Amino acid sequence: MAVTVLVVDDSSFFRNRIQEALSSDSRIKIIGTAVDGREAVVKAKELKPDLITMDVEMPQLNGIEAVRQIMRQSPTNVLMLSSLTHEGARVTLEALEAGAADYLSKDIRAWMDRSSALRQELIERVVALGTSRRLRSTPSFGRNPPPAKSDNSRIFRPDTPGPRNQPATDVQGRSTRTAPERPQTKVADGQRGVDPQSGAATYPLTRIRVPDARVVVIGASTGGPAALQKVLVSLPADFPCPILLVQHMPGTFTKVFAERLNQQSRIRVREAVDGDRLEPGLALLCPGGMQMMLDPRQHDRVKILPGDDRMTYKPSVDVTYASVAKAFGSKVMAVTLTGMGADGCDGARLLKQAGGTLWAQSKDTCTIYGMPQAVVNAGLTDAILDLDDIGSMLAKCKYA
């Protein structure tokens, strides 16, 4: 069954280009267009599309306010189209706060040239989001008041990685989350309750082992901005471990995104620069278009390197996972969040070979169950967690 799409843009040029690109794929059916946000709200309720492509700047009602109203009246997955500028980054993140699922570059030159790469990327995003039935009922990204920051200025001191496959510490005490209505998954050796077919969360949470760690690494793509915010705001200001964040995002977006995460979180968050030192309670976000690794000579510092043109993802979760696995082995706590594709799977294999711990986000709470599904199906995960539980479980980590 074809994914039905409503195209919203005040520019006839972009409306025509988007329709032209999407109509070239038999999996997609255009069921309507709108020239401003007000018309988009009406048609979203009337046509009930699987997905809406939404411009940001429009007369009558802009794209951000249109998304807010659509999410209240007729929740629908929305793909924002925005410019690759600092202002474009700001308004795109506002659209994600309002409830949009993802965004795509609105580079006029690429659209004028009818770029095949751009067309294919648009089609893949539309099909993936259009077939995803998960919607955030109440947008959460960026809505919490800024908490007090810790004055924690401790310096992270690397040691020689411990022996591989060192046993992790069992979680003590019960989770504050109420018991799920779904049946509990049987906990087995090695793969603790992981079900590759359903992608359901591992329960009970008290059986999931939380390791002592030298570093926490989190990778995400589509749906990642909201998911990362959900995880990071759950961490206490005195969180004892350094954190590395890899989010598929353009270079013009990551600085703005890091600043927003810093405002919303108790821990400190900033865009990483070459030579940054790992510190407890500090999350370093890899700049878009670059790669983030640990310095092989000084494991307490990061190296930010230009993205190799041969790499599909810049930044790449695979690159960062592989680097921390080599540096810290069994002392790595990694999390794979929502996203398209399989970035992180190859790096996760190296991480598991080194004795590290890997959790994946559950299918029901992912915007796109692509990256988590890849590591689950490869048998690399120690547990699958609902998004609401990931932050509180990570908060149990102790510094190794």
Q: Just list the catalytic residues.
A: 221, 248, 343
DSSP 3-state helix, strand, coil percentages of the chain (rounded to 5)?
A: 35, 20, 45
For residues 257 and 273, give the distance between their C-alpha atoms in angstroms, rounded to a whole number.
Answer: 15
Structure tokens at 331: 């002392």
Residues with Cβ within 8 Å of residue 399, at least 6 apart in sequence:
212, 213, 214, 240, 241, 280
CB 46 within 8 A of CB 19: no
For residues 248 and 285, give the distance between their C-alpha atoms in angstroms, rounded to a whole number.
Answer: 11
Q: Is 299 left (phi over 0), alpha (psi -120 to 50) or beta?
A: alpha
Beta bridge partners of 33: 7
Helices (H), the chain: 12-23, 37-47, 63-73, 86-98, 108-112, 116-130, 224-232, 251-264, 317-328, 345-353, 371-377, 387-394
For residues 128 and 228, give the distance between their C-alpha atoms in angstroms, rounded to a whole number.
Answer: 20
Residues with Cβ within 8 Å of residue 297, at least 6 apart in sequence:
none
Task: Give the dihedral sign, CA 294/154/288/79.
Answer: positive
DSSP of 292-322: EEE-SS-TTBEEEEEPPTT-SSSS-HHHHHH
Structure tokens at 210: 């939380």
Residues with Cβ within 8 Å of residue 362, at least 6 apart in sequence:
199, 200, 201, 372, 384, 385, 386, 387
Q: Single out the residue of 122, 112, 31, 115 nearest to residue 81, CA to CA.
A: 122
Structure tokens at 360: 């994946």
DSSP count for the chain of H helices, then E strands: 12, 18
For residues 79 and 106, give the distance between their C-alpha atoms in angstroms, rounded to a whole number.
Answer: 12
CB 279 within 8 A of CB 242: yes
